[in-house]
Every structure is written in C-alpha cells, then in structure tokens.
Amino acid sequence: MSGPGQRDCGLEGAVTVFFALITVMITALLLMVLESARTEGARLYMTIAANSAVDSLFSQYHRKLWEEYRLLGLEHYAYDQITDEMSGFLKPYFEAKNWFPMKLESVDVEDLRLLTEDEAEYYEKEVLDYMKFGIAASVWDLLEAEKYTDGVKEGNSVNSLSDIYDDHTKEAVRLEEAIGKIGECLEEIEGHRSSAESALASCSGEGFISEARAMQTSLGKIPGLVSDYLRKAEKMQKGLEESRIKLDAEKAKGDLSEETWSMLNEDISEYESYVSEDGARRQEIEGFSGRSEGISGYLDGLIAEAEDIIEYIRNWEPSEDEDGEEEELDIEALWEPVRTAFASCDRIQMGSRYGVEDKETEQKLEDIQTLLKGSFLNLVLPPGATVSTDVLDMGDKPSVFCCPDGADGRADAADRLFLTEYVVGVTDYFGRGSFDAGTKQTGSGALETEYVIFGKETDTDNLSETVKTLIEIRTGLNLAYLYTDNTKRQEARTLALAITGAFGLTPLVTVVTFFVLSVWALGQAVCDVRDLLSGGRVPFIHDRESFYLSLSGLLEFTSGNLAGKPGSDRGLRYRDYLRILLFFGQDTSQDYRCMDVIQMNLRKTQKDFQMNRLIYSLEADVHVSAAHLFTAQGIVKNQGIDTGGTYNMSTATAYSY
C-alpha cells in the first residue's frame, strides 16, 4: 500500500484503458455514421449518373427527323444497342476516383415505347406539342372548321339522296317510255282500224281482212308491253319504299339542315306522288291485256263473216226477175252488218297523257351525267399536268405493320385541327410549288397529303379518289344552293316541261326537274374541282355570281371540258379543301399514313430508316456493386462488426420526349 502523496498506478491504468475503449467505440460509431451517409450519397450519385446517362442517350435523337418534321425519336436497331450505349454513358461516373467507388453490373431496359405504338398516341403527342407550343402557325378557327365539317356532312347527304333519286328519275322515264310503247301500239291499232273502216266503206273485203289481221298482230303485242310496264312500275314502287327508309335514316342522322331537308323532301315526295297518280293509270293499263285478247277474238268473227261474204260474192250468179231483167247484187247491203259490228268493236285508248316528249334531251342529260361521273380526272386536270402511276416506295409501311385494325379518331376537335394543319404543312399535295401559287414543295413531290387521306398505292389513285370525293361534296353543296336560287330552279323546270311535254303529269315534271338540277349541280362541281386544281378558289357555298355554269353550257357538253369562265377570286383553295377532308376524316389511320410519308422521304438519304425503330420513351434499372469505405477500416472490424466486402444497389430512371 502506498503512502500519502504517492500515485495509484493501477487506477490510472484503468482510466487510460477505459478512455481508449471509449475512443475506439466512438470512432467506430462515427465511421459507421459516415459510411451510412456516404452510402446515401452513393445512391444519390448513382441516381444522378443514371438520369444523366439516359439524358445523354436520348440526346442522340434522329437529327433529320427533327429538322424536317419536328418529331423526336431515338433510333435503335437492337435491345443490346440501347443497354450498351447507356452503359457507355454511365462508365465515366463509376471510373471516377471519388468517395463513391462502385462497379456497373448491368442495365435493364424496361417499358420501351416506340413512336409508332399505342395507336399513334406518342406521335400525336409530339405533333401537338410542336403545333401548340413550337410554332406560330396560322390555323382555322375551330368554329370555322366545324362549320365546314357540317357542310361536308350536308353535302354528302344531299349528294347521296340525289344519287338515290336520280335512279328513280330514270325509272320514271323508263316507265313513261314503256307506256309510250303501249301508246304507239294503240296508235298503230287505230291506224289499222281506220284503214279497215275505209276498206269496208269501199266494200273491199280483202282490204278489211288484211287490216283486221294487222290489228290482231298489233293487239298481240299489248300483253307483253303491259307486262313490261307493270314490272317496271312495281320495281319503281318497291324501290321508292326502300328509298323512303334511307331518306328517313339520313334525316335522323341530323346532317341536313331543316331548310335543306324541307326543300328536298318536298321534291322527293313528288316521286311518291308520281307512283300514286300512276296507280289509277296502272289499273287502266293492266286491263289492256284482257281487252286486247277480247278484241282479237271479236275480229276473228268479223274476219270469218267477211270471208263468207267474199265467198258469196265470188260464187254469186245473177238470175232473172219476173220481168226478165237480171237481178243485181246489193254489195252495200252485204257489208252493212260487218260495218255495224266493226263500228261497235271495243277501242282501247289511254285516259291520260303519257310518254316523254323530248327523248333526245332527256337521254343527253343521262349521257352527260354518265360522262361526268365516269372520267373525273381527265375532266379536271389542268393542261400539261401529269400524275404518276408508279407505286409509292415506302418500304415496310407503319400503316400496315403498326396500325391496329379498326383505327378511329381519338383526338378532340381542337387537337384534330392542329393535326390537320401539321399534315398540310409537312406534306406535298397536287400543285404545291406549281399551280398553288406562293408555296413550295416540302417532301418528295408526290401527292403525299392525298395519300394521308385515302391511302392508295399510286398518285393517280389518290388524286382520283380526292377528286371524286370533292366532286361528290361539291355536287351536294351545289344542289343545295340551286334550291335557294329561284331563277335557276325555274330554268330547270322549264327544261323539264320541254322534256315531259307541257301536258305531262305534274309529279313527273317535278321528278324530271330534280334530275335536271342534280346533273346541273354535278356539272358545276366538275368545274369547281377543275378550278381548284388549277390554283383557283371556289366558295364553300356558291352564290349567283360564282355559280357560273349555265344550263345551255351543260347541254352543250359532249366529251371535252365544260364551258365556263374562270373560277372565283374568293373562297377556298385546293389545300383548304384538303384541310376539310383531313379534319373531317381525322383518325389514327391518318397518323400512320403520315408516318408512311415521313419514312418514304427519310429513306431517300437513309436506306434502312424505319419509323418503328424510333424510341419515344423508356424506363431503365441500373444495377451496381459498391464497396464499403469507412466501415472497411480495421477499427470497425475490430469491434466485431462484419460489414462485408461489397454490396449491391439499384436505381430506376426514365425518359420520354
């Protein structure tokens, strides 16, 4: 035991050891805290590296696609290409000498979306982003676009109804022609009757028998002519009943304005009135068959009687009377019974006016209609214009390999307007850079806009379909206009009166008037589209000044161009009508056909370009292995804490254009 004033060495040693242990433990704790903080920093570092790498990856967007079409897409050829490129962008981060030592193990790409996938949703999104925020474009007002769309619907409905009832007009004319043939046969019978009466008046038995037999021959035609008439009448009546169903269905669609419907329905109802009025005439004509057979049988008796008289006269020998004078044969008395009987013979006559007075003009209108409907493209192409018949070279078209069946419209009206404007802006159409003044070609020079609308394989087919559609729309709109122009309606009715005859059935006159108006509207529609393709303007709804085709000019048409003055200096151009067609029919199939055009043009400089290799977005998981830094020190291990040599970390990243 130490005395007073001496140190206790054992106690001091214990304190030293205690403080040493405490210091080691505190140091190990601090190192573990630092390691935990460093690990979180490593995770953040890895996330930054992954995000930066995917940003760098998507910065390799297809430059020409952006420059020419303002679409962003990352071109790739294989899955490994994406993972390898992203690994390359990550490598500098993991090779850096810093506090975050780690090794890249793998990159897994998930949920890769192509620009062509999901019914063109991503394509539309990029187009709309560009159109709404990337440019200062002049586009139609939405209300104006919807007005044109309503006009297209009405034009299509009017044209559809016109086509239906044009056929009925021709049926009515054929019906009148069938009645006309019956009438001609009856006139022929009357001619023979008159000749037979003259023969009897002159006591010519042979002449009477000849004319009576000629009457029988003509009477024998009546049953066949009546059957032909009845067949046509029944067919027309049944067709009108079916057309009334279509008419009501068209009305129910709501595409026709009340004013247009009222005017059309008023005239179309005349078709039914014609059939109704023809009902009484049909009953009358239906009885002609039995009456003609009865008359023919009646004539058999008269002919037999006439033959007996002739035989009697031939065999008659004169005899002397009481005074010794020869008795004379009273031939007049012999033929008087035949004359009386023949005079009472039934006579078939029409109880009403029949037939078509001016068959030549009516047939000419039909021929003009056939010509106008059968050779659209030749009639409207500007002089010197040519259209390629070569098949458009687009490779593996997205519209075939990527577009789902039954694609339909998804965008709302405002977005459809921007999609429409985009297509017109980036694609070529007929006349762009030539007939359409102030414009220049943007792509191949092919009829790309027309292809987007109709999807045919050649420029000729696409332009033909465009012209056909525009003429149909314009015909309907022109017919609706003609109904508002009383002067032109009266011109048409005057011509109809000339065709049917001034005393024709009133419903028939209206029926033929409708036909005249339909052909007139079609003729002006051909002029309209001809003006559009030549770079002119055509008002959406005509007025008296802009509707320049005269009825006489229409009737002078044979196989050349319709006569007329140049088109209006106001109204819509061809590209505006293409906008209408695009907006009216906008759906996902249009999106994919626009991708076809983009692919076709980019393949001119990059032979293997394909739209379905363009990535729109992806998600990726980055997997690394990392080593402990602070806890790997011996001072921590000596505390019996096993932190292991390495550990794994993962992070997710994503990107979309």
| Helix residue ranges per DSSP H, 59-111 | 63-69, 79-95
Percent above pLDDT 90 for the chain: 47
- Please report the sign of the dihedral spanned by the C-alpha atoms of residue 388, residue 390, residue 396, residue 401: positive
- 84-92 mean pLDDT: 93
Going by pLDDT thresholds of 50, 70 and 90, the confidence category of residue 442 is confident
Residue 169, pLDDT > 90, answer no
- Dist CA 303 CA 105 (whole Å): 119
**Secondary structure element (H or E) that encloses residue 234, with its range:** helix 205-253
Which pLDDT score is estimated for 136?
Answer: 43
Query: Integer distance in angstroms from the first to the last C-alpha of the chain?
Result: 86
Residue 407, pLDDT > 90, answer no
Going by pLDDT thresholds of 50, 70 and 90, the confidence category of residue 321 is low
Strongest mean pLDDT among 137-141, 207-211, 391-395, 416-420: 207-211
**Of the candidates 560, 161, 518, which has an alpha carbon nearest to the alpha carbon of residue 369?**
518
Residue 19, pLDDT > 60, answer yes
Q: How many CB atoms lie within 10 A of CB 137?
A: 12
Which pLDDT score is estimated for 225?
Answer: 95
- Dist CA 127 CA 619 (whole Å): 22
Instruction: Give residues with Cβ within 8 angstroms of 631, minimum separation 6.
Output: 31, 32, 35, 641, 643
Which pLDDT score is estimated for 351?
Answer: 66
Would you call 651 helix, strand, or coil by DSSP?
strand
What are the CA-CA distances from residue 513 to residues 105, 362, 371 (Å)? 84, 11, 20
Residue 594, pLDDT > 90, answer yes
Which pLDDT score is estimated for 461?
Answer: 94
Which pLDDT score is estimated for 6?
Answer: 55
- 314-342 mean pLDDT: 82
Contact 641, 32 (CB under 8 A): yes
Token output for 455: 């999807």
Contact 441, 453 (CB under 8 A): no
| Helix residue ranges per DSSP H, 381-485 | 398-401, 413-426, 448-454, 459-482
pLDDT in tens, 117-130: 999 999 999 999 99
Which pLDDT score is estimated for 565?
Answer: 65
Residue 138, pLDDT > 60, answer no
- 537-549 mean pLDDT: 92
The least confident of 63-77, 281-295, 553-567, 592-606 is: 553-567
Strongest mean pLDDT among 33-47, 143-157, 549-563, 579-593: 579-593
Residue 268, pLDDT > 70, answer yes
Token output for 354: 């029949």
Residue 400, pLDDT > 80, answer yes
Token output for 513: 């008037």
Angle 37-43-44 from CA coordinates, rounded to 5°: 90
- Please report the sign of the dihedral spanned by the C-alpha atoms of residue 572, residue 577, residue 582, residue 584: positive
Comparing 549 with 407, the larger pLDDT belongs to 549
pTM value surpassing 0.75: yes
Amino acid at 449: T
Going by pLDDT thresholds of 50, 70 and 90, the confidence category of residue 137 is very low
646 DSSP β-pair partners: 627
Residue 447, pLDDT > 90, answer yes
pLDDT in tens, 465-504: 999 999 999 999 999 999 999 999 999 999 998 888 755 5
pLDDT in tens, 353-377: 666 778 888 888 888 888 888 778 8
Name the residue with tokens 């440019």.
135
Say which DSSP state 611 is in: G
Please count the CA atoms within 13 angstroms of the CA of 28 that sit on its side-chain side: 16
Going by pLDDT thresholds of 50, 70 and 90, the confidence category of residue 185 is very high
Residue 11, pLDDT > 70, answer no
Q: In whole angstroms, what separates CA 212 from the centre of its chain?
A: 62
Would you call 168 helix, strand, or coil by DSSP?
helix
The least confident of 178-182, 285-289, 389-393, 408-412 is: 408-412
Residue 63, pLDDT > 90, answer yes
Which pLDDT score is estimated for 493?
Answer: 92
- 512-533 mean pLDDT: 93
Token output for 584: 């009216």
Which pLDDT score is estimated for 645?
Answer: 65
Contact 466, 453 (CB under 8 A): yes
Virtual CA dihedral for 559, 561, 562, 563, nearest 10 degrees? -130
Return the axis-axis angle of helices 413-426 and 588-602, rounded to nearest 10°. Answer: 20
Would you call 436 helix, strand, or coil by DSSP?
strand
Going by pLDDT thresholds of 50, 70 and 90, the confidence category of residue 1 is very low
Comparing 465 with 444, the larger pLDDT belongs to 465
Q: How many CB atoms lie within 10 A of CB 636?
A: 22
Going by pLDDT thresholds of 50, 70 and 90, the confidence category of residue 593 is very high
Percent above pLDDT 70 for the chain: 88
Q: In whole angstroms, what separates CA 436 from the centre of its chain?
A: 24
Which pLDDT score is estimated for 410?
Answer: 66
Contact 473, 157 (CB under 8 A): no
| Count of residues making up the chain | 657
Contact 289, 223 (CB under 8 A): yes
Which pLDDT score is estimated for 607?
Answer: 92
Name the residue with tokens 């002078």.
556
R_g (Cα) of the chain, nearest Å: 47
pLDDT in tens, 196-221: 999 999 999 999 999 999 999 999 99
Token output for 629: 């830094």
Name the residue with tokens 């379909």.
465
Name the phi and psi angles at 627, rounded to 5: -105, 145
